[in-house]
Chain A
Amino acid sequence: MRTIKTTNLVPGMVLGQDVLFPRTGATLVSAGTKLTFDLIRRIESFGIREVIIMQSGKTQQEAKEEELLPVFTEYHDRVITTANEIFTNSEQQPVQARVVKNLVSELLEQVELDSDLMLNLTHLKSYDDYLFSHCVNVSILSILIGEALGYPKEELNLIGTAALVHDLGMMKVPNKIWKKNGVLDAEEVNLIKNHPLYGVEMLKDFPEEILSIVKEHHEKYDGSGYPQGLKGEEIAFKARIVGLADVYDACISNRPYRPRLTPQQALQIIFQDKEKYDPHILKAFISVMAIYPIGSLVKLNTGEIAKVIRVNKNQPFRPVIKVLFDRNGNKLDEPLRINLDDDRNNVIHIKDNLSAEESNAIMQQLNEEPGVAEQL
């Protein structure tokens, strides 16, 4: 239990002691009440300056997540390391379909266990070797989009496998080109634009359908893609899935030529150019990512700043969030979890996404305390 100024109260906090009407002493709000926004304002309206709240205990769900997170993180790292090995050795030892397929099977299992945790991991760290974490992230995203489209497990494995190796061809592009910080010249652009074809050459062991996905993952629905400029239905459906996942992950990753974009900026970029994507896949994508994707930093209409940690199915505007700062900008000692889909929270809504600068400032602030960034 601790004392808190009423101005710093956050909806969801639980009263540790009765709050009384100042004049009569009758009970205004009882101890044990989970405060809603209107209750907070009512308490404030009586000029009450301080109340006593209970320390937020961990729910079973949170405790379970805390247990799972290190396991998932370690697993995620391991997949990336394995991808790294497979790719780096691809010159000497051709990539084997069986090996990748098994890796993706494990990935599928993890995604099935807790897709939100996996999605959260695609955000957290900035890996030095972008390519390998990128391929794993695109694999996870493609699997989730495929799942939303109703594909069965076997097909999800195929999609995930294609996604994992989609950029293998980049191994044939000299490092200094794709790590370049400036404008690429025509020859460099050409090399990069051929990476889907290089990928196909390197994956001789793989089924035809996967090769078509690798070859066409940069084609765009409106015909503006490469290397062939295919349009609409000419592009393999699963290639359209991987193509979209590819763009999203590239946007939210740090690149040599620009820092990472916020999930919201990534969504905006994609939707500004929506003709480049298949509308069915865009819809499945939104149903997976929601309007406020996992990892987004948002501001509530009630003033708090929170991070989106879980998406509620069919409720793209009402995710589960973790409040990080109260409405006066004070950092909470213990982030408070709010499920916006909970009936009691209807008066709260997400007002805005934080800008890239604001987001980065907050991420920096949080990263200064080890362990916090690792939490959901």
Chain B
Amino acid sequence: MILMRAELINPFLGASFKVLKSLGNEHVKKGELGLASSPVKGDEVNATVGVTGDLLGQVIFCMSQQTASQVASTMLLGLPITTFDELAKSAICEFSNIVTGNAVTELGDKGFFCNLTPPTLFVGKDVLLSTKDLGFLVIPLETGFGDIKVYIALREADK
């Protein structure tokens, strides 16, 4: 049963906006939040962060390689990114880590204490993402770097 309560999803929205703003993206547009049933189509670059603790699941950030290169370049102080190499990948991993970390910290204020597993990056074409609970919450974002989709598959841990 995936998480759908607004109060638990909003921290992810807020964190995305905040981090993108810190990367110079003042006007990020949020598309319509929706539910997508598993499997969903990923993009060329997909960064997964695992969540453990009071909430369990994954947060996945999907974007084109071009968008990822721009995000990475901005995080790397403007270094031109010509190939999507280990350095660029580490930047995207950190991006997803920071967004998820900020969201999860805010969730702590609401009494959900969570930790994160290290990000994993999947790069490829025609990637399909599946989750055990058969569905994702989708947050589509339109940024100055390009489109970024945030897929959230989280549920409350059994107490």
Residues in chain A within 8 A of chain B (CB atoms): 36-39, 41-42, 45, 267-268, 271-272, 274, 279, 282-283, 286-287, 291, 301-302, 314-318, 343-344, 346-349
| Least distance between A292 CB and chain B CB atoms (Å) | 11
- Write the nearest CB–CB distance from B111 to chain A, whole angstroms: 7
Q: What is the CA–CA distance of A344 and B102 in the complex, to the nearest angstrom?
A: 16
Asked if A346 meets B117 with Cβ closer than 8 Å, knowing A38-B108, A41-B108, the reply is yes
Q: Which of B78, B90, B98, B114 contacts A316 (CB 8 A)?
A: B90
Given the known inter-chain contacts A314-B87, A317-B94, please indicate yes or no for A291 contacting B77, CB distance below 8 A: yes
Q: Is B31 an interface residue (CB 8 A)?
A: no
In the assembled complex, the CB of A334 is this many whole angstroms from the nearest CB of chain B, namely: 25
Complex Cα spacing A366 to B2, Å = 49
Q: Pick the most buried of B75, B90, B104: most chain A CB atoms within 10 A of its CB.
A: B90
Given A315, A316, A344, which contacts B76 in the complex, CB threshold below 8 Å? Answer: A316
Interface residues of B (CB under 8 A from A): 49, 53, 75-80, 82, 86-87, 90-91, 94, 97-98, 101-102, 104-105, 108, 111, 113-119
CA distance A376 to B147 in the complex (A): 42
In the bound assembly, the distance between CA atoms of A274 and B119 in angstroms comes to 30
Contacts of B53 in A (CB 8 A): 38
Chain B residues contacting A343 (CB-CB under 8 Å) are 117-118
Q: Assess the B101–A39 pair: CB atoms within 8 A.
A: no
> Which chain B positions have C-beta within 8 A of A287?
87
Decide: A36 and B115 in contact? CB cutoff 8 A: yes
Chain B residues whose CB sits within 8 angstroms of the CB of A286 once the complex forms = 76-77, 79, 87
Give the residues in chain B near A349, CB-CB below 8 Å: 94, 97-98, 101
Q: A342 → chain B, closest Cβ, in Å? A: 9
Asked if B90 and A315 make an inter-chain contact with CB atoms under 8 angstroms apart, the answer reads: yes
Distance of A242 Cα from B104 Cα, bound (Å): 44
B87 touches A268 (CB 8 A): no
Determine the distance from Cα of A318 to Cα of B117 in the docked complex, in whole angstroms. Answer: 14
Determine which of B78, B102, B105 lies in contact with A274 in the assembled complex, contact meaning CB atoms within 8 Å. B78
Q: Which residues of A contact B101 (CB under 8 A)?
A: 301, 346-349
User: Roughly how many angstroms separate A150 CA and B86 CA in the complex, as a whole number?
Assistant: 16
Q: List 29 A-B contacts (CB under 8 A).
A: A38-B53, A38-B108, A38-B113, A38-B114, A39-B113, A45-B111, A45-B113, A268-B77, A272-B78, A274-B78, A274-B80, A279-B79, A283-B87, A291-B75, A301-B101, A314-B90, A315-B90, A316-B91, A317-B90, A317-B94, A318-B94, A344-B115, A346-B101, A346-B115, A346-B116, A346-B117, A347-B101, A347-B114, A348-B101
Quick one: closest B residue to A351, CB to CB? B98
**Chain A positions within 8 Å of B75 at CB level:** 291, 317
A279 near B111: Cβ-Cβ < 8 Å: no
- Chain B residues contacting A318 (CB-CB under 8 Å) are 94
A347→B77 contact, CB < 8 A: no
* 6 pairs of A and B residues whose beta carbons are closest in the complex: A346-B116, A317-B94, A38-B113, A271-B77, A42-B113, A271-B78
**Once the chains are docked, how many angstroms separate the CA of A171 from the CA of B75?**
40
Give the shortest distance, in Å, between B71 (CB) and chain A (any CB). Answer: 13
Contacts of A41 in B (CB 8 A): 108, 113
Give chain B nearest CB distance to A345 CB in angstroms. Answer: 9
List residues of chain A with CB within 8 A of the CB of B108: 38, 41
Contact at B77–A267, with CB atoms within 8 Å? yes
Across the interface, which residues of B come within 8 angstroms of A347, CB to CB?
101, 104-105, 114-116
**Docked complex Cα distance between A133 and B130 (Å):** 57
